[in-house]
Amino acid sequence: MEVQQFYYDNKIVKKFIIATMFWGIIGMSVGLLLAFMFIFPGITEGISWLSFGRLRPLHTNAVIFAFVGNALFAGIYYSTQRLLKARMWSDALSNINFWGWQLIIAGAAITLPLGFTSSKEYAELEWPFDIAIAIIWVAFGANLIGTMIKRRQRHLYVAIWFYLATFVTVAVLHIVNNIEIPVSALKSYSFYSGVQDALVQWWYGHNAVAFFLTTPFLGLMYYFVPKAANRPVYSYRLSIIHFWSLIFIYIWAGPHHLLYTSLPDWAQNLGVAFSVMLLFPSWGGMINGLLTLRGAWDKVRVDPVLKFMVVAITGYGMATFEGPMLSLKNVNAIAHFSDWIIAHVHVGALAWNGFMTFGMVYWLVPRLFKTKLWSVKLANTHFWMGTLGIIIYALPMYVAGFVQASMWKQFNPDGTLTYGNFLETVSEIIPMYWMRAIGGSLYILGAFVMLYNIVRTARQGSSVEDELAEAAALQPVTSKRTVGEAYHSWLERRPVKLTIFATVAILIGGMVQIIPSLMVDEYVPVISSVKPYTPLELEGRDIYIREGCVSCHSQMVRPFRSEVERYGEYSKAGEYRYDFPFLWGSKRTGPDLHRVGQKYSDNWHLNHMYDPQSTSSGSIMPSYPWIVQDALDKSDTENKMRVMQTLGVPYSDEEIENAQALMKQQGTQIEKNLYNDPDFVSSYEADKRYAEENGLEFTEMRDREIVALIAYLQRLGTDIKAEDLKQVSTN
Amino acid sequence: MNIIYLLLAISVMVAIIFFIAFIVSVKKGQYDDVYTPSIRMLFDDELVKADPGNKQPLNKVKSN
Say yes or no: A8 contacts chain B, CB-CB below 8 A: yes
What DSSP designation does A570 have?
Answer: P
What does the pLDDT read at residue B50? Answer: 52
What DSSP designation does A168 have?
Answer: H
What does the pLDDT read at residue B44? Answer: 83
pLDDT tens-digit map of A450-462: 999 999 999 998 8
What does the pLDDT read at residue B56? Answer: 44
* Summary mean pLDDT of chain A: 91
Say yes or no: B26 contacts chain A, CB-CB below 8 A: no
A263-277 mean pLDDT: 89
Task: From chain B, pick out residues whose CB is under 8 angstroms from the CB of A157.
Answer: 37, 40-41
Cis peptide before A581 (omega within 30 of 0): yes
What does the pLDDT read at residue A276? Answer: 95
CA distance A294 to A238: 15
CA distance A446 to A614: 39
pLDDT of A641 higher than 60: yes
Say yes or no: A265 contacts chain B, CB-CB below 8 A: no
Distance from CA of A86 to the nearest CA of B (A): 10
Best mutation target among B7, B36, B39, B44 (most A Cβ atoms within 10 Å) is: B7
Do B19 and A145 meet the contact criterion of CB atoms below 8 Å apart?
Answer: no
Question: In which element (H, E) is residue A183 found?
Answer: strand A180-184
What is each CA distance from A475 to A29, A470, A471, A492, in whole angstroms? 51, 15, 12, 17
pLDDT tens-digit map of B18-49: 888 888 888 888 888 888 888 888 888 787 66
Do A287 and A314 meet the contact criterion of CB atoms below 8 Å apart?
Answer: no
Strand partners, A466: A9
Say yes or no: A635 contacts chain B, CB-CB below 8 A: no
Is B1 in contact with A248 (Cβ distance < 8 A)? Answer: no
What does the pLDDT read at residue A468? Answer: 86
Distance from CA of A559 to the nearest CA of B (A): 20
Distance from CA of B32 to the nearest CA of A (A): 10
Question: pLDDT category, A727, cuts 50, 70, 90?
Answer: low
Do A202 and A237 meet the contact criterion of CB atoms below 8 Å apart?
Answer: no
**How many C-beta atoms lie closer than 10 Å to residue A370's C-beta?**
22
Give percent above pLDDT 70 in chain B: 72
What DSSP designation does A66 have?
Answer: I
CA distance A355 to A348: 10
Question: pLDDT category, A703, cuts 50, 70, 90?
Answer: very high
Is A498 in contact with B52 (Cβ distance < 8 A)? Answer: no
CA distance A469 to A279: 40
Angle at A251 between CA A263 and CA A269, to 5 degrees: 35
Say yes or no: A514 contacts chain B, CB-CB below 8 A: yes
pLDDT of A257 higher than 70: yes
Question: In which element (H, E) is residue A472 found?
Answer: strand A466-472
Say yes or no: A1 contacts chain B, CB-CB below 8 A: no
Say yes or no: B9 contacts chain A, CB-CB below 8 A: yes
A410-416 mean pLDDT: 95
pLDDT tens-digit map of A421-450: 999 999 999 999 999 999 999 999 999 999
Question: In which element (H, E) is residue A187 found?
Answer: strand A187-190
DSSP 3-state of A307: helix
Distance from CA of A367 to the nearest CA of B (A): 7
CA distance A584 to A337: 10
Size of interface A-B (CB pairs under 8 A): 155
Name the CA radius of gyration of chain A, rounded: 28
**How many C-beta atoms lie closer than 10 Å to residue A549's C-beta?**
23
Backbone angles phi, psi at B40, to 5 degrees: -60, -40
A300-308 mean pLDDT: 95
Q: Is B62 left (phi over 0), alpha (psi -120 to 50) or beta?
A: beta
Is B42 in contact with A230 (Cβ distance < 8 A)? Answer: yes
What is each CA distance from A217 to A71, A128, A321, A731, in whole angstroms? 9, 28, 17, 48
Say yes or no: A524 contacts chain B, CB-CB below 8 A: yes
Distance from CA of A96 to the nearest CA of B (A): 26
Task: From chain A, pick out residues whose CB is under 8 angstroms from the CB of B9.
Answer: 510, 513-514
pLDDT of A412 higher than 50: yes
What is each CA distance from A266 to A206, A406, A439, A627, in whole angstroms? 18, 27, 40, 42
**How many C-beta atoms lie closer than 10 Å to residue A562's C-beta?**
18
Closest CA to A224 of A118, A358, A113, A336: A358
Say yes or no: A251 contacts chain B, CB-CB below 8 A: yes
Say yes or no: B27 contacts chain A, CB-CB below 8 A: yes
Closest CA to A571 of A194, A192, A201, A271: A194
What does the pLDDT read at residue A720? Answer: 85
pLDDT of A513 higher than 60: no
Q: Which of A83, A195, A240 sits opposite B1 (nearest CB)?
A: A195
A270-297 mean pLDDT: 93
Question: pLDDT category, A107, cuts 50, 70, 90?
Answer: very high
**How many C-beta atoms lie closer than 10 Å to residue A492's C-beta?**
17
Backbone angles phi, psi at A184, to 5 degrees: -145, -170
- DSSP symbols for A82-135: HHHTS--S-HHHHHHHHHHHHHHHHHHHHHTTTT----STT--S-HHHHHHHHH
Say yes or no: A208 contacts chain B, CB-CB below 8 A: no
Closest CA to A716 of A479, A588, A550, A603: A550
CA distance A23 to A73: 14
pLDDT of A353 higher than 60: yes
Angle at A482 between CA A477 and CA A484, to 5 degrees: 175
pLDDT tens-digit map of A665-688: 999 999 999 999 999 999 999 999
Alpha-carbon B36 to chain mean position:
14
B15 burial via Cβ count (<10 Å: 0-12, 13-18, 19+) = middle
**How many C-beta atoms lie closer than 10 Å to residue A459's C-beta?**
11
A133-142 mean pLDDT: 96
Closest-CA residue in chain A for B6? A514
What does the pLDDT read at residue A497? Answer: 60
pLDDT of A689 higher than 50: yes
Closest-CA residue in chain A for B50? A370
CA distance A21 to A360: 12
Say yes or no: B15 contacts chain A, CB-CB below 8 A: yes
Tell me how many helices (H) and strands (E) chain A has: 32, 4
Do A712 and A537 meet the contact criterion of CB atoms below 8 Å apart?
Answer: yes
Say yes or no: A155 contacts chain B, CB-CB below 8 A: yes
pLDDT of A110 higher than 90: yes
What does the pLDDT read at residue B21? Answer: 85
Do A710 and A598 meet the contact criterion of CB atoms below 8 Å apart?
Answer: no
Say yes or no: A230 contacts chain B, CB-CB below 8 A: yes
CA distance A667 to A634: 12
Say yes or no: A486 contacts chain B, CB-CB below 8 A: no
Task: From chain B, pick out residues whose CB is under 8 angstroms from the CB of A461.
Answer: 55
Complex prediction ipTM: 0.73
Angle at A358 between CA A298 and CA A315, to 5 degrees: 70
CA distance A345 to B11: 24
pLDDT of A649 higher than 70: yes
pLDDT of A517 higher than 90: no
Distance from CA of B9 to the nearest CA of A (A): 7
Say yes or no: A232 contacts chain B, CB-CB below 8 A: yes
Do A549 and A712 meet the contact criterion of CB atoms below 8 Å apart?
Answer: no
* Torsion sign, CA atoms A149, A150, A153, A159: negative
Closest CA to A257 of A663, A554, A494: A554
Is A226 in contact with B20 (Cβ distance < 8 A)? Answer: no
DSSP 3-state of A335: helix
Tell me which of A529 and A434 has the higher pLDDT. Answer: A434
Is A248 in contact with B15 (Cβ distance < 8 A)? Answer: yes
Give percent above pLDDT 90 in chain A: 80
CA distance A676 to A94: 63
Task: From chain B, pick out residues whose CB is under 8 angstroms from the CB of A502.
Answer: 16-17, 20
Strand partners, A469: A6, B46
Closest CA to A542 of A192, A197, A190: A190
Question: pLDDT category, A520, cuts 50, 70, 90?
Answer: very low
Best mutation target among A84, A370, A470 (most B Cβ atoms within 10 Å) is: A370
A122-138 mean pLDDT: 96
Q: Who's near B54: CB < 8 A, 6+ residues apart?
A: none
Closest-CA residue in chain B for A156? B30
Tell me how many helices (H) and strands (E) chain B has: 2, 0
Top mean pLDDT of A18-27, A252-261, A459-468, A715-724 is at A18-27
What does the pLDDT read at residue A455? Answer: 96
Is B7 in contact with A521 (Cβ distance < 8 A)? Answer: no
Backbone angles phi, psi at A95, to 5 degrees: -75, -35
Q: Who's near A67: CB < 8 A, 6+ residues apart?
A: A20, A23, A24, A27, A28, A353, A354, A357
Closest CA to A370 of B42, B48, B61, B59: B48
Give percent above pLDDT 70 in chain A: 92
